Amino acid sequence: MAVATFREIERSYFDLRWHLDPVAATQAGVKAYDDRYGRFSPGALAPHLAALKALSAALEETPARGLEDEIDRTALLNEIRVTLRRFEGERPQAKNPGFWLSHLLGGLHFLLGRGDRSPEEKAVALAARLEDVPALLDDARATVVAPVRVFVETALRISAGGLSLVREVGVGRGERVAAAADKAAAALAAFGLDLDRWLDTASDDFALGEDDFNFHLHYEHALRDTAPELWRYGHHLKEEVEADLGRRAVRLNGGKRWQDVAERLRADHPPATALVDAYAREMARARDFVAARGLAPIPDAPLDVVPTPAFMRPVIPFAAYDSPGAYSSDRTGWFYVTVPDPGLPPKEQERILRDHCQHELAATALHEGYPGHHLQLVHAQQQPSDTRKNVWTPLTVEGWALYCEDMMGEQGFYRSEEEQFFQRVHLLWRAERILLDVGLHTRGMTFEQAVDHLVTQLRVDRANAEAEVRRYCAEPAQPLCYAVGRREILALRDDFRAARGARFTLREFHDAMLRYGGLPVTLIRWGLGLNE
């Protein structure tokens, strides 16, 4: 019997992936699934998971045609392993109501925002998805059998903004959409009662545990490190950066602690009405800097700087990026900025704005845009390999963006000592994330201890610290990826420089990395012939 080629199996995998998660298909620019939601009850998942196992077995058997196919096959096998472990072992669909709400609201948000569907196509798809909301939430009620308190609390916050989104969708898009939006809003409001009920019975068992945590390190991120080793690295990096910040604080403010310097500088921020424009200017400056110095190829893909949608604010306290779809004709990326609600008291608005200090906009803008996430992920989507278009680890994606904060400083992007100071504050935050990630999921750290740690160590506002820690609880082995990924990429750059000798250029290294998209750094190292 003929064995399917790797690329044939790869196509089958993505067909299955879009069928399992139609919202991911919409986000990727695949229109065939726009009229439906996924189903994640045990009965609905069973055939999908069985098919994934069959594909995994086929991938193991099929020969790879050369090193590049072997790298992609390894990445795809690990992607399947992580997906199976997630649904069969970790079970967010049974523990986290926010899993369902994010799927529901993302399915509307991506349809609304993408520019590659006509108004008529959008209206038909929105109506169909809205009509499916009551059944989707019925599935959620039946499937969420082990709710976790921190996840339910997050879902309650998402639900409030989500209800506004559903009602907004129903306006001005015809009778069918309006009627479907009314029923969807009623179903979502009723689901809020389930959230209240789950809050009364929820457990505090959010921790993944060391074995499962190490599984993610090995298969999702292709790291050799285990949790205890990363715990030690986090402490080492924290001490190193704190010492550097202390020296910088002396230069900036004659001997005061770095925390006091940061507090003073945070008073210098744009007003709420000018915040989005301020980030847009920094984004343009970063793009022009990268282009002028030839540090990386600038993609033909615009980047819109927009306020964070209301339903996303509970999990995006500051800013975030969303890439264009891999197969979408609309190449626009979105950079979300969480602007204070004008209805808040002035003191609350000021509290939020202090986290958008004028001196840290530069590092945030380049991290999210150029040469960070937008540049990297759009280049990934230009690769011929479907795996490299769609499969990525935050170790490489967040690691690249944090590496870029360092690299742009080396190239002279920061205009002042204050901007350099805040770039190091950002690095310290990422070191703390290693400790909180490992601590929460493998060392018995509680939610409250993690929040207190951010408030006392980094002077993060308590409300924002709570939002951050909710995300850390729900995304194990993700928060550590920023600093650990930076470490891996800096080591790769050192080895690439040593191999190239006098011929080394920064642009050559960046071009070599970008060709692999967001695949794990270990696989990129393999492709570059720099195995350790």
The arithmetic mean of pLDDT across residues 2-21, rounded, is 92
Q: pLDDT tens-digit profile of 277-297? A: 999 999 999 999 999 999 999
| Cβ-contact 76, 391 below 8 angstroms | yes
**pLDDT of residue 532 exceeding 70:** no
pLDDT at residue 1, as a whole number:
45
Tokens standing for residue 52: 């994934």
Q: What is the mean pLDDT of residues 36-61?
A: 97
Q: How many angstroms separate the CA atoms of 283 and 270, rounded?
A: 15
Q: How confident is the model at residue 525 (pLDDT cuts 50, 70, 90)?
A: very high
* Nearest C-alpha neighbor of 530 from the set 227, 518, 504: 504
pLDDT of residue 3: 66
pLDDT value at position 314? 74
Strands across the sheet containing 333-337: 303-307, 333-337, 319-322
Q: Is the pLDDT of residue 111 over 80?
A: yes
Least confident of 8-17, 257-266, 365-374, 488-497: 257-266
Least confident of 17-31, 229-243, 327-341, 509-523: 327-341
At residue 364, the pLDDT reads 95
Lowest model confidence (mean pLDDT) among 2-6, 493-497, 509-513: 2-6
Mean pLDDT of the chain: 95
The answer, yes or no, to whether residue 2 has pLDDT greater than 60, is no
Residues 69-109 have pLDDT tens digits of: 999 999 999 999 999 999 999 999 999 999 999 999 999 99
pLDDT at 450 over 70: yes
What secondary structure does DSSP assign to 217-274, as a single string?
Answer: IIIIS-----HHHHHHHHHHHHHHHHHHHHHHHHHHHTT--HHHHHHHHTT----GGG
Six token digits for residue 53? 């196992």
Over the stretch 318-372, which tens digit does the pLDDT of each residue have? 888 999 999 999 999 999 999 988 888 998 889 889 989 999 999 999 999 999 9
Count each helix (H run) and each strand (E run) in the chain, helices first.
24, 3
